[in-house]
Amino acid sequence: MKNSCDTGKRLVRLQDASEMLGVTMKTLRVWDKEGKIATVRSAGGHRRIPKAEIDRLLGCPDFAIDKIDASALAANLKTIGGKSHE
């Protein structure tokens, strides 16, 4: 799986977002309900997460990068989520 940032406006399925961020889908649902992440609903009512929001959670700059620092990712997610919701 490629962990790269982009500036595109595409929407990501919850399952794909959970894999990119290294958290469970349940955690993403809880973060959505708590207002910690921005989501949109598809026409069918499914949650989608804007790629820009995933990039924000990953701490990505405004330009594409090749690698994400795993320790920075863990620290960033810890401050956002506070605890695991598995």
Q: What is the pLDDT of residues 16-69, one digit of tens each?
A: 999 999 999 999 999 999 999 999 999 999 999 999 999 988 887 654 434 445
The predicted pLDDT at position 47 comes to 93
Please name each of the domains of the chain with its CATH number.
Answer: 11-81 (1.10.1660.10)
The CA-CA-CA angle for residues 5, 16, 61, to 5°, reads: 15
Asked whether the whole model's pTM tops 0.75, one would answer no
DSSP characters over the chain: ----------EEEHHHHHHHHTS-HHHHHHHHHTTSS--EE-TTS-EEEEHHHHHHHHT--SS--S---HHHHHHHHHHHHSS---
